[in-house]
Chain A
Amino acid sequence: MAGADITAGVKGQGSADRRLRPYLGFIWPALVVCSAVIIFPWLFTVWMSFNDWHIGSARAWVGIENYSKLATDRRFLESIGHTIYFTVLAVFLPLVLGTFAATVFHKKFRGRGFFRTLFIMPMMATPVAVSLVWTMMFHPQLGVLNYLLSLVGLPPSLWVFAPATVIPSLALVEVWLWTPFVMIIVLGGLASLPTEPYEAALIDGASQWQMFWKITYPLVLPFIVVAAIIRTIDALKAFETIWVISNGGPGTASETLNVYLYAQAFAYNQVGTASAVVVVFFAIIVVLSLVLLWARQKAQWS
């Protein structure tokens, strides 16, 4: 079978070229748009990162000075730490809660369709509007969250107004927004599972937890990893919730890489430094994505 494929391929190559040539012209529009919108801005950003450029002043070529300054910049290094802390919370919690929600919604019960729709709604709201409402809820004296805490007898929390609790509070908003997203992906995976192993396990007397951990979990792992990849990339780049709710504060306690580079570019008008941060950020995202794709390879079971 393989041999026939190869010979067919070799013989077909010449005619394939000839068939392809008139169609080559059709890829030019896509190529031009792609270059203009993706490739050119990317190259220009890399070029800007080698310059010292403040909007309104003259531009000066400085080579890798922007990068060497970043390596010793306390605020930049701290922002990397905040980004990692925020991403871990904003990825791990939705994965766990989303998988749990998917297993719940996989079982049939009355009103399942209605509750599933309700559960998906946070994902459909605009992040900025959601962030504004959460800001009101987080207010230490006038917000509803501290009121709810007082009803159950817990002391009021400072939520996003204290350096120690700001990142967990922001991660809470992200969890509320994106758990439905993970749930949908894992629900799709659950729907594709065969039912025989469960029937066999029930006959053998397995408990619910054993069935989940030994059967469901290994089988939906590829789907969970897909959700993890998408969530990680989104959480690394999360901007609206952090900017609108805490503005990177208090102080710089919740300043992630994305917020830091926004401040550099659009508040301080230092596009050279901001471009250097962008290039470093891009490298981090690419490395993390490759790691996760490798993990996905490992999780394949078929």
Chain B
Amino acid sequence: MIDRLSLSRRRALQGATALALAAPMLNTKTAYSQSGAFNWQRFKGQSIEVVMETGPRADLVKKYLKEFEGQTGITIGLEIIPEQQARQKTTIELNSGKPSFDVFNIAYHVQKRQIEKARWLFDITAWTKDPQMTPAEYEFGDVSKPGWDYATQSDGKITSLPMFVDYFMIYINKELFAKKGVQPPKTMDEMMAAAAKLHDPANGIAGYVGRGLRNANVPLYTQYLSGWGQETTRGNPPELLTDTPDAIAAAEYYKKILSNYAPQGVSGFNWNECQGLFMQGKAAIWLDGIGFAPPAEDKTKSRVVGKVGYILPPAGPKAHHSVFFGGGAAIPDASPKKEAAYMAALWMTGRQMTSRMLQTGGGVPFRSAPLKDPAVLSQLTIPKEWADCAAGCAPISMPGLPVIVPVTQFRDTIGTALTNMLAGADPATELKRATAEFKPILDKSEQS
């Protein structure tokens, strides 16, 4: 009896040791070499951390998290932080070399150059061409060129997957327009004239509302500037173009429309205050990003449900553009779970999730197929006019901010000049001063 017991104990020990030795071989990572096709479940069992900026995109990911976990077997720890804080957190953690996240929202228009110079991102170029890492149904060709320009660094490496693009469009209050018999404007001069006709401060109606707050107002200014066919910088290394005659003309337009036909105190308005005023029905025209439509069509929040018109941004004297900004999903080079993170990035930027984003009006993908897909369009929760407008913005789009390292400082410097104009300063003087102030900062940032 003792013999049997000791034998079975030895057997148990042998069995346990064999199991422990065999366990690494059960690792799913090595399993991929056995199959030749793409498999969503390849990295199952892993758990990754994702950081996203507060907004409709994050809400969407949160809503469909269980679907992703079921599809891939990868668990996601999702952290949603307001925009400014998320950018600060990701910058500081990436700089430390040990970020706590495996995937994050990169805001291309603000962070791209700084992140690419610091080389914080993992190069996914090889994976985008590897059929075992990227499924054919991802449809790389569907993503537009501006998207790939954003995702590709200046050294040719692809370091993120483009997710969404924000164009600028005009929101109009159709009821106010109809009351005074004004036609929706197509050019900047028409917009100024319409704002003048609809401006009715005695009844609390502002003809026009737009961002006046420093830093936030620069995208609005670059939208006007695009009407003269110009951006704020040119070439590589970037040269400032903010004091050219066209730049000054655009600033004069900004000053005129916001000083005369906008509500009092507009110099402190960010998109939040503008949106609030528009949703209360107290503004006739609002020029801003396309992602702010959903609350205006929400019966519990808005007084203008069903009365909102969505039209293309106005054409300027020399050109017709819609400025764009974008975001994507990026993987830090220091992440220990890059493959699982890549699966998450593929899902977030894939056709299904970006179509859902379009349907709820939470953003526009860089892809063109969802905008043409009747199945997607039939399920829009906001008027189809919005989707048509977004589709119309894509071919005339132009970058809204320069691809430089000190973008925030650029926005603060030029933004201060613009806000000072609203208080009465001369546009030419302010722009020249701001350009002279920012030029050494820009030159220094390009040297290092």
| A residues adjacent to B (C-beta < 8 A) | 54-58, 60, 74, 139-142, 156, 158-163, 246-252, 263, 266-269
Contacts and interface: CB of A to CB of B under 8 A. Distances in A.
Interface stretch (B49-57, B88-96, B218-226): B88-96
B214 A159 contact: no
Main secondary structure of the interface of B (DSSP, over half): helix
5 contacts: A54-B405, A56-B115, A56-B120, A158-B265, A252-B416
A141 B88 contact: no
Contacts of B35: none
Contact of A140 (B117, B264, B437, B445): B264
Nearest to A266: B88
Given A142-B276, A247-B215, 20 more contacts: A54-B445, A56-B114, A57-B117, A60-B448, A74-B437, A140-B263, A140-B264, A141-B263, A141-B264, A141-B277, A142-B280, A158-B265, A161-B267, A246-B268, A249-B419, A250-B267, A250-B419, A251-B423, A252-B416, A268-B409
Q: How large is the interface on B (under 10, 10 to 19, 20 to 34, 35 or more residues)?
A: 35 or more
Given A263-B412, A267-B408, A163 B263 contact: no
Nearest to A141: B263
Contacts of A250: 212-214, 267-268, 419, 422-423
B420 interface: yes
Contacts of B268: 160-161, 246, 249-250
A161 B95 contact: no
Contacts of A267: 408-409, 412
A58 to B, nearest CB: 6
A35 to B, nearest CB: 22
A56 B95 CA distance: 6
A53 to B, nearest CB: 10
B266 interface: yes
B313 interface: no
B118 interface: yes
A141 to B, nearest CB: 6
Given A56-B117, A142-B277, A251-B423, A159 B265 contact: yes
A161 B267 CA distance: 6
Contact of A139 (B214, B273, B416, B419): B273
Contacts of B405: 54, 56-57
Interface of B: 88, 91-92, 94-95, 114-115, 117-118, 120, 204, 212-215, 263-269, 273, 276-277, 280, 282, 405-406, 408-409, 412, 415-417, 419-420, 422-423, 437, 445, 448
Nearest to B267: A250
Name the 8 nearest CB pairs between A and B, nearest first. A161-B265, A56-B118, A140-B265, A161-B268, A251-B419, A250-B267, A251-B416, A57-B448
Contact of A162 (B91, B267, B269): B267
B91 A56 contact: yes
Contacts of A248: 214
A298 to B, nearest CB: 42
B448 A54 contact: yes
A274 B232 CA distance: 27
A139 B88 CA distance: 28
A251 B214 CA distance: 5
Contacts of B212: 250
A141 B280 CA distance: 11
A248 B213 CA distance: 10
Contacts of A142: 276-277, 280
B218 to A, nearest CB: 13
Contacts of A56: 91, 94-95, 114-115, 117-118, 120, 405
Nearest to B120: A56
Contacts of A55: 91-92, 95, 118
Nearest to A252: B416
B214 A249 contact: yes
Contacts of B419: 249-251
The listed residue with most A CB atoms (<10 A of its CB), out of B212, B268, B417, B445, is B268
